[in-house]
Amino acid sequence: MTERTQNLIEPKAGLPRGAALLRDPLLNKGAAFTKAERLALGLEGLLPPKVFTIEQQAARAMENYRRKQDDLERYIHLMSLHDRNETLYYRLVIDNLEEMTPIIYTPIVGQACQQFGHLFRRARGVYISLDDRGRMTEVLRNHTHEDVRVIVVTDGERILGLGDQGVGGMGIPIGKLSLYTACAGVPPGRCLPVTLDVGTENVERLQDPLYMGICQHRLRGEEYDGFVAEFITAAREVWPKVLIQFEDFANVNAFRLLEQWRDRICTFNDDIQGTAAVALAGLCSALKITKKPLRDQRILFLGAGEAGVGIADLIVSAMVDEGAEIEDARRRCWFVDSKGLVVKSRQGLAEHKLRYAHDVLYAPDLSSAVHALEPTALVGVSTIARAFDKEIVETMARLNERPIIFALSNPTSKAECSAEEAYTWSRGKAIYASGSPFPPFTYLGKTFVSGQGNNSYIFPGLGLGIVACEARRVTDRMFAEAAKALAAQVLQNDLDMGRVYPSLRRIREVSAHIGAAVAEVAFRDGLAGVERPADVLEFVKSKMWEPRYASYLW
């Protein structure tokens, strides 16, 4: 026996060796494996000889990132790193979160979904198709991680403002779960993206020879509901403590599925409830500027789908908490859809719109509705680009000393107005937020840094709190408390520059406070699966994963 083998340190049990270890993105450290690890784990000769720190690796990755010619190439670069070395990927993203969030999520992820079959490099997550009916438990068990705590699932029918992308919608769950980890420290090994491939109505995808899903029209009706039910049952059987987040389901299914499952399993719909909490938080922050109470606001929504109605429902709940009667609170929320103002006299309204169909004269479009209702806040969730035109913004500024204008549609190309338009047309009076980021804008010597009302401010912290306390359900009260916690993190210097959300540089701190607020609700309402600790905030922080390399030797 040589001196070299006598000095061999034993590796920790259960680790793969050699090339298999380098192919596991959760375990791979690349050139950061130490000399001792290389010897013990059969890596000698499989890596260049110099050992690098994670900081040196991140500098190399950033250098290559900077060389890319456009944002889609930067997205591909980051996804390739994600597939090779998750720890390094998250180190890079966390250290450059403001710059990289628009790349790994909105707006660039929308382009990636549209070109999914053409950009595909390596499979990530689980795809469940119609061919898997009757055996979904077996399919899910093919995923190697035994303690999944968060699933983001989509059927790809309503991807951002881009519509039906079929199986290409997988980019959204992957992006969302990246933010769970980067923004809130939910361990990446406990996150699973899932796509339910039930077909697509997108003719362009069906005709694309590189489309990667089933080439047929979408499953509908009872068969569709049965398919989703089988998936949920299987996921809960394989991972009993899992949180299931519905993502980018079309209106025709989203409300029904949420109502069907919300009181039976640990689940939520981010497009309905997460968007609502982010919007409510932004509104509460804006009211710190206007100095007027929430219950006195008159809010007009453009778009009466799952996002808009979800926001209104949570605003109504908050107004009731302030002492308003529920019907009075609902009359503070108004909707304009593709057919004009939602009023009682209109026939054939969808069920989710009925509670906001008020008994007033019909207005045929947004402009006439603004003149008739004189709202204090205008919220865009329509995916209609430039719907907030110069005349509408000028009217809002004439009616209000500080008009609240939230253009929340994603991606950027679908925003109802830009930050520059809102500030210019309102003569610097608007309190503005958008769903996708806009650069700072200077008007008459004042620089405005607009807030991005992105769900990434809410769902990662919410998920962190749920995972930490092992909550059995997700309730509306959790979202209301999450919104309050987010608004409480907005500092005066944020408000001074026009920003109604905190800087993304503080997102992990913000997410910890949101997670603690959510966990407090679970403990108070008897929904937690663990005992309440003495300090809930510190308990939640202790559950946050950090991208640091572990030693693989005893």
Could you report the per-residue pLDDT of 375-425, keeping only the tens digit for each? 999 999 999 999 999 999 999 999 999 999 999 998 888 999 999 999 999
- In the three-class reduction of DSSP (H, G, I as helix; E, B as strand; rest coil), residue 87 is classed as helix
Q: Are 214 and 129 in contact (CB under 8 A)?
A: yes
> What are the pLDDT digits (tens) for 425-451?
999 999 999 998 899 999 999 999 998
Confidence of residue 146 (pLDDT cuts 50, 70, 90): confident
pLDDT of 358 above 50: yes
Residue 454 CA: distances (Å) to CA of 125, 129, 281, 384, 503 = 24, 30, 11, 17, 12
Alpha helices in 351-407 (DSSP H): 366-373, 390-399
Cα atoms in the Cβ-side hemisphere of radius 13 Å centred on 215: 11
pTM: 0.93
What tens digit of pLDDT does each residue of 19-52 get?
Answer: 999 999 999 999 999 999 999 999 999 999 999 9
**Same CATH fold, 99-265 and 3-98?**
no
CA 103 distance to own-chain centroid: 13
- How far is the C-alpha of 313 from the C-alpha of 354, rounded, in Å? 12
Q: Which position has the token pair 């990289």?
A: 100
% pLDDT > 70, the chain: 99
Beta bridge partners of 302: 336, 380
Whether the pLDDT of residue 2 is over 60: the answer is: no
H, E, C per residue of 428-465? CCCEEEECCCCCCEEECCEEECCEECCHHHCHHHHHHH
Q: Write out pLDDT tens, residues 231-289.
A: 999 999 999 999 999 999 998 899 999 999 999 999 999 999 999 999 999 999 999 99
Whether the CB-CB separation of 432 and 499 falls below 8 Å is answered with no
Helical (H) or strand (E) element with 515: helix 507-524
Separation of alpha carbons 241 and 262, rounded Å: 15
Q: Which two tokens stand for residue 58?
A: 């991140």
The domains of the chain are located at 3-98, 99-265, 273-454
Architecture in CATH for domain 99-265: 3-Layer(aba) Sandwich (3.40)
- pLDDT of 8: 58
User: Looking at the chain, how many residues does it have?
Assistant: 554
* CA nearest neighbour of 476 among 525, 541, 435: 525
Q: Give me the active site residues, please.
A: 105, 176
What is each CA distance from 123 to 174, 231, 413, in whole angstroms? 11, 20, 28
On the 0-12 / 13-18 / 19+ scale of CB atoms within 10 A, 416 is buried
Nearest to 269 by CA among 302, 238, 305: 305
- Please give the angle made by the CA atoms of 484, 417 and 285, to the nearest 5 degrees: 15
| CATH number of this structure's domain 3-98 | 1.20.1370.30
pLDDT-derived band at 6 (thresholds 50, 70, 90) equals very low
Residue 153 contacts residue 246 (beta carbons within 8 Å): yes
Q: Give the per-residue pLDDT at 436.
A: 84
pLDDT of residue 3: 42
% pLDDT > 90, the chain: 92
- Helix-then-strand count for the chain, H and E: 25, 14
**Span 107-139, pLDDT tens digits:** 899 999 999 999 999 999 999 999 999 999 999
- Kindly report the CATH class assigned to 273-454: alpha beta
Both structure tokens of 523? 């403990």
